[in-house]
Amino acid sequence: MKPVIGVTPDFTAGDRKELGSHEPTIFLRARYSQAIEDLGGIPLILPLCEDSSVRRQLLKKVDGLLLTGSGPDIPPRLYGERQRYRFRVMNRRRYDFELEMVRLAARSGVPLLGICGGMQAINVAHGGTLVQDIASELDRPLQHRAPGPATRRSHSVCVTPKSLLYRIVGRKQIRVNSSHHQSVKRVAPSLTVSAVASDGVIEAIEAPARRFLLGVQWHPEFLYDRDQNHRHLFKAFLDAARKR
Ligand code: MN
């Protein structure tokens, strides 16, 4: 049996002209669901339902949960800070759904993979904070919003020995793509760092007490077809979901 993976989509209230609609719209970059499909899972794009009991029921329908990236950022007040720079914030409909789904999935042991903004959502849902803007807050950071195609592995990360991520990739260092301007600042108490870039930016987090709860700051959905490290990442997630 193939595992069913719930995938969180993005949401716009109808103010994103590039989507060609002024209606509230749920949308998702197809690479996320394509990666699940190509590597042996069944992607199920989750409507951003607002009722808590409906969310609980939705979670029972899936074997794993994939939190995807987002253009807009999590409102800083959700981790106790004021917004210090100009950036677009996520629609409430999305972050409210994602943050609760993270808590429900963690509590019930549903394997969880967060990509980019999805990793940040995992940290905030568990009580951690974010760097609001890497270029403004860090001394001499790497270029994390790297130019060029999203398949370009623009910097390396050091993988924490003995971590879940290390067990997956089997390497102390891997090359990753990078398309983010925020990152995890204070790691939530129940989470640990699984990878860090040379400038100190946290690039992956996990929950040691859970069988599979992993967040990565890069985009493996652009790399799984050309780099086995990133293919193994999805495979390990799908294996954990299948075993559940
Ligand atoms: Mn990066």
Tell me, what's the pLDDT at 23? 85
Tell me, what's the pLDDT at 237? 98
Bridge partners for 66 per DSSP:
7, 113
195, 216 Cβ separation under 8 angstroms:
yes
Residue 108, domain extent: 4-243
Q: Tokens 């629609």 map to which residue?
A: 91
d(CA 130, ligand 1 centre) in Å: 14
Tell me, what's the pLDDT at 15? 73
pLDDT at 21 > cutoff 90: no
DSSP letter (8 states) at residue 101: H
Residue-wise pLDDT for 137-164, tens only, equals 999 999 999 999 999 999 999 999 999 9
Residue-wise pLDDT for 69-88, tens only, equals 998 999 999 999 999 999 99
| Six token digits for residue 70 | 């987002």
d(CA 172, ligand 1 centre) in Å: 16
Number of domain units in the chain: 1
State which amino acid sits at residue 118: G
pLDDT at 18 > cutoff 90: no
d(CA 3, ligand 1 centre) in Å: 29
CA-based Rg of the chain, rounded to a whole angstrom? 17
Question: Distance of CA 230 to CAs 88, 116, 217, 223, Å?
Answer: 29, 14, 12, 6
32, 71 Cβ separation under 8 angstroms:
no
Helix, strand and coil percent figures for the chain, each rounded to 5: 35, 20, 45
Q: How far apart are CA 210 and CA 107, in angstroms?
A: 9
d(CA 119, ligand 1 centre) in Å: 12
Tell me, what's the pLDDT at 6? 98
d(CA 59, ligand 1 centre) in Å: 30
CA 123 from centre of chain: 10
Tell me, what's the pLDDT at 13? 87
Percent of the chain with pLDDT over 90: 93
d(CA 197, ligand 1 centre) in Å: 7
pLDDT band at 22 (very low <50, low <70, confident <90, very high): confident
Tell me, what's the pLDDT at 73? 97
Bridge pairing between strands 4-7 and 42-45:
parallel
Residue-wise pLDDT for 84-122, tens only, equals 999 999 999 999 999 999 999 999 999 999 999 999 999
> How confident is the model over 200-222, as a mean pLDDT?
97
CATH number, domain at 98?
Answer: 3.40.50.880
d(CA 76, ligand 1 centre) in Å: 20
pLDDT band at 19 (very low <50, low <70, confident <90, very high): low
Residue-wise pLDDT for 113-139, tens only, equals 999 999 999 999 999 999 999 999 999
d(CA 213, ligand 1 centre) in Å: 20
State which amino acid sits at residue 209: A
Q: What is the mean pLDDT of the chain?
A: 96
Q: Tokens 């799908």 map to which residue?
A: 238
218, 174 Cβ separation under 8 angstroms:
no
pLDDT at 14 > cutoff 90: no
Tell me, what's the pLDDT at 20? 67
Tell me, what's the pLDDT at 244? 85
Helices 92-108, 117-125: axis angle to 10 degrees equals: 70
Tell me, what's the pLDDT at 225? 97
| Six token digits for residue 32 | 């996320």
